[in-house]
Amino acid sequence: MLGPLGKSLAQLDAHGMPVLATADAGVLPYYSQWRTIDIFGLNERAIGRSGRHDPTYILSQKPDLVFLNSSAPDSFVARMPWVQSLYDASRGYGLAPVLVIHVRFAEYYTWALGSPQNPIVHRWRTGLSGM
């Protein structure tokens, strides 16, 4: 399911370079071609070198969408403690759940968070209704 989501992001007419923050920093950035903040830190120098998953740093990059992994579909249940901090900070930053995706091969749920006022998020969400 993440491949088609990445492809749907790539189809958006986004002026400039949209930003995605995600731990699934393989297929999503590959297909979307969005600038990606790897919140896990493997491909993000600032996080990889420090080992700190700092929500302030991640949100300072002004992501259009933040994808976080949860153990549950109905309420956010972080799979790692630092992910809960990022979820809480994202909500405080004004991001809201846009979509919850069941990742079957790994049995978790990816929560897509975005600003309701962000035109990119609005176009993406509108386009998903046709998927």
CATH code: domain of residue 84: 3.40.190
66 confidence band (pLDDT: 50, 70, 90): very high
Spell out the residues 6+ positions from residue 121 whose beta carbon is closer than 8 angstroms to its own: 64, 65, 98, 114, 115
Number of domains in the chain: 1
Condensed to tens digits (0 to 9), the pLDDT of residues 67-114 reads 999 999 999 999 889 999 999 999 999 999 999 988 877 688 999 999
Boundaries of domain holding 45: 2-128
Condensed to tens digits (0 to 9), the pLDDT of residues 32-49 reads 999 999 998 787 778 877
State how far Cα 35 lies from the chain centre.
12
123 confidence band (pLDDT: 50, 70, 90): confident
